[in-house]
Every structure is written in C-alpha cells, then in structure tokens.
C-alpha cells in the first residue's frame, strides 16, 4: 500500500538528506519519476495539486500512482499539494491519499492555526499526515534589509508556536524560494540563518521547501533553442538545496524542473521530426528526459539514493 511520510522524514532527518516531492499530472510524468526512483532505490513522494486533480481527475491520478506502486514496489507517499480549504483535504483523505497539505499561509496567523488544526484533527483520525505552511513564498534581492525579510519570511518563534498549537507533522517555511521559473532577479539568496533558528526551536521536526526547482539551464536553453521563449529564468542553485537537505529540510518540492525537462524534449523532438505525429514518439523521449532529471536530483542533490 501507499506509505505515510512519517518514517521517510524520520530517516531523512537523521541521515541529513531530503525526499523529493514531485508533482504529477499524467502517466508519462508518473512513469519517468518512479523509474528514476526505482533505479536509485529511493523513497518517493508523488504530489497532486488542485489543478492536477481538475486536469486529470482524482481517480485517474490515484490509480496511476497505485499502478506505480505495484510496478516498482517502492515506498511511495501520495500527497495533496497546496490544499486551500478543509473540503479538498477531506476529499483527498477520504480518497486514498496518505498525506495532505493545508496551505493557510495567505490567512492571518490565528485563521491559519484554526484551519490547519481542523485538517489535522480529521487527517489524524484517518491515519493521514498533514503539512502546514507559514510565511510568504517570495524571492528577494540579496541586499534586502532585515525588516523586509521579516515581513515575508517565516518567523521562527511563530513557526514553533504554529507546530505546537496545530499538531502538524511537517511545516513549509518561507526563506526565499518561490514557485515557477523566475525565482531571483539577481543573485540567488536563501535565508539559512532563519532555517537554522527554526531547526533549533523545532528539533527533530521535518521542514518542507517549496519552490525548490533549480530551473536547470540545459532545459531552459533547449526550450529557447527550439522555438520557446522563456528568457531570464532562474531557480535555486543545487548547492543551496544540498545544504538545506543536510539541515532540517526533509521534503523538497519540484514541479518546474519536470515541466521544463518535458517541454524541452517535446520541442526538440517535434522540431527535428516535423513529419512525426505519433504522440508516443515525443512523449516517450519526454518521459526519458524526466527520468534522467529526477535521477540526477535524487543522486546528486537530495541524497536519497539507496535509502529504502
């Protein structure tokens, strides 16, 4: 059966590595990711956003992930990414997920606490774990001043209070990452001091990093080379992710790097074979590109190879 993240995070915390949480929307993405994890003998989190559920339907995604489980025998957790209210979390808990995120970060602190607590109560009663979020995900210039950072980033004392009062199993925090392909205008910057403080106040507690794609230049360049237009894209450098994985960060979220690997491959394929119109001829290579990228992450960045 699908596993919880509890055991994965405990081992990751102690071992100084992180588990990759990859967003899935269709069969080729699922297969590319699990084939990589299988070759690396790595635990894995597959996550589904509200948009993914809308696109593919809940049941198709659950069945794809169940197929992946049966095919690979890997410990795989199925997680709801950025659940925005109690209802979507309940729907995923009732519908076979082993982990849900309630993202109350847009609310004020007390509303976030109350909403998260409500989800935790229902989830725990059904054997499901919960990820909360506190702070605003935003990239900042490296010369940003302290008060600007304090306004956006997660306050370590509040993080400790949030975990204590809600009973969440893991917490996403804001230290400078952001979603998508344009994370930093200038030099990439993450607030490791803040991460360190959170780690001291919440010992043995798993922290989650969202917006953690590297926006790998090889894929951006390939997209642009074959008719794409994504100038100035920049992500989180791999050495920063390695550093975070060595600290209290136990889950690293990756979607944009999957999208870029897939799109670069499809663009190249269609440009080089203009008379081809069998979808397998471009989705197959796209699946291989995803597999290669994910294998690289697991082995060289997350450090979860061989950690079954």
For residue 213, the partner it binds in Na ion, ligand G3H, ligand 13P, none, with Cβ less than 5 to 8 A by kind, is ligand 13P
Q: Which of 86, 87, 12, 81 is nearest to 53 (CA)?
A: 81
Q: 296 among the known binding-site residues?
A: no
Binding of Zn ion by 183 (CB under 5 A): no
Smallest distance, ligand 13P to C-beta of residue 30, A: 16
Q: Which of 298, 300, 299, 307 is nearest to 20 (CA)?
A: 298
Q: What are the residues facing 302 on neighbouring strands? A: none
Smallest distance, ligand 13P to C-beta of residue 72, A: 22
The phi and psi torsions of 132 (rounded to 5 degrees) equal -105, 175
Which residues are CB-neighbours of 253 under 8 A, at least 6 positions away? 21, 23, 47, 81, 208, 209, 210, 211, 212
From 65-73, 104-112, 187-195, 255-263, span contacting ligand 13P (CB under 6 A): 255-263
3-state helix, strand, coil in the chain (%, to 5): 50, 15, 35
Q: 290 among the known binding-site residues?
A: no
Q: 212 among the known binding-site residues?
A: yes
Q: How far is CA 141 from CA 177, 185, 237, in A?
A: 12, 7, 15
Choosing from 35, 71, 81, 94, the catalytic residue is 81
Binding of Zn ion by 210 (CB under 5 A): yes
Contact residue for ligand G3H among 38, 165, 179, 243 (CB under 6 A): 179
Binding of ligand G3H by 82 (CB under 6 A): yes
- Show the site string, 198-217: x = touches ligand 13P by CB under 6 A, - = not: ------------xxxx----
Burial of residue 302, with CB atoms counted within 10 A of its CB: 0-12 exposed, 13-18 middle, 19 or more buried: buried
Largest CA distance in the chain: 60
Smallest distance, Zn ion to C-beta of residue 113, A: 20
- Region 76-115 residues binding ligand 13P, contact defined as CB under 6 A: 81-82
Catalytic annotation present for 81 = yes
Smallest distance, ligand 13P to C-beta of residue 275, A: 34
**Torsion sign, CA atoms 67, 68, 72, 75:** negative
Binding of ligand 13P by 133 (CB under 6 A): no
Using CB under 5 A, list all residues that contact Na ion. 18, 245, 249-250
Catalytic residues: 81
Using CB under 6 A, list all residues that contact ligand 13P. 23, 81-82, 179-180, 210-213, 253-257
């Amino acid at each position: 059966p699908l596993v919880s993240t509890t055991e994965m995070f405990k081992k990751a915390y102690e071992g100084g590595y992180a588990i990759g949480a990859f967003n899935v929307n269709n069969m080729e993405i699922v297969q590319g990711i699990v084939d990589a994890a299988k070759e690396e003998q790595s635990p894995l989190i597959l996550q589904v956003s509200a948009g993914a559920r809308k696109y593919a339907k809940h049941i198709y995604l659950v069945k794809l992930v169940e197929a992946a489980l049966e095919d690979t025998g890997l410990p795989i957790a199925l997680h709801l990414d950025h659940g925005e209210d109690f209802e979507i979390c309940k729907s995923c808990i009732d519908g076979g997920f082993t982990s849900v995120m309630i993202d109350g970060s847009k609310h004020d602190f007390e509303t976030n606490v109350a909403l998260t607590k409500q989800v935790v109560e229902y989830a725990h009663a059904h054997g499901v774990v919960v990820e909360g979020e506190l702070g605003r995900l935003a990239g900042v210039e490296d010369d940003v001043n302290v008060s600007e950072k304090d306004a956006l980033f997660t306050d370590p004392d509040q993080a400790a209070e949030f975990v204590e009062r809600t009973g969440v199993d893991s917490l996403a925090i804001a230290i400078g990452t952001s979603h998508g392909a344009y994370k930093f205008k200038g030099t990439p910057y993450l607030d490791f001091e803040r991460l360190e403080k959170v780690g001291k106040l919440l010992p043995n507690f798993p922290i989650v990093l969202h917006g953690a794609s590297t926006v790998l230049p090889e894929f951006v360049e390939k997209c642009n080379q074959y008719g794409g237009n994504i100038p100035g894209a920049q992500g989180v450098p791999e050495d920063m992710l390695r550093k975070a994985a060595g600290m209290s960060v136990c889950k690293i979220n990756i979607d944009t790097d999957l999208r870029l690997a897939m799109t670069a491959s499809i663009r190249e394929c269609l440009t080089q074979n203009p008379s081809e119109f069998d979808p397998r001829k471009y989705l197959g290579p796209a699946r291989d590109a995803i597999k290669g990228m994910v294998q690289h992450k697991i082995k060289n960045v997350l450090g979860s190879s061989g950690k079954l």
